[in-house]
Amino acid sequence: MKFLTLSMWPLEKTAEVSAASDKAAAKLPKEVRGGSNYILMCIPAGLNVPPGSMVSVSIDEGDSVEEMAATIYPFELAGGSAQVIPLLEVPMGGSAKADKKYGG
């Protein structure tokens, strides 16, 4: 399953957070590590970001909650915070069908 991960950390914790994230990512299978992280150059409207913080957005894949927690926990121990949002893949032009299927 794919997840959208919004991560935040204080600017002064960048070195610690990066090291923890790299260490956790090194334990993942190579096919899962192939994704990219994106550093936002702005703060999305409505996102409560403290001044002097960095924000990262990534799309991650995981087979279980335990697998996702294993990658996020070290990041949070180093001073970051993360919101993990499950993503539902819907084909273009298939929104109404997906809504009917999942919405009941």
pLDDT 10s digits, 49-87:
888 888 888 887 777 778 788 888 898 999 999 888 888
pLDDT of 40 above 70: no
Tokens 């992280």 identify what position?
37
Residue 75, SS3?
helix
- Let me know: does 39 contact 55? Beta carbons within 8 Å: yes
Domains of the chain: 2-103 (3.30.70.120)
- Let me know: does 7 contact 75? Beta carbons within 8 Å: yes
- What distances in angstroms separate CA 81 from CA 55, 63, 104, one per listed residue? 10, 21, 34
Q: How many CB atoms lie within 10 A of CB 9?
A: 23
pTM over 0.75: no
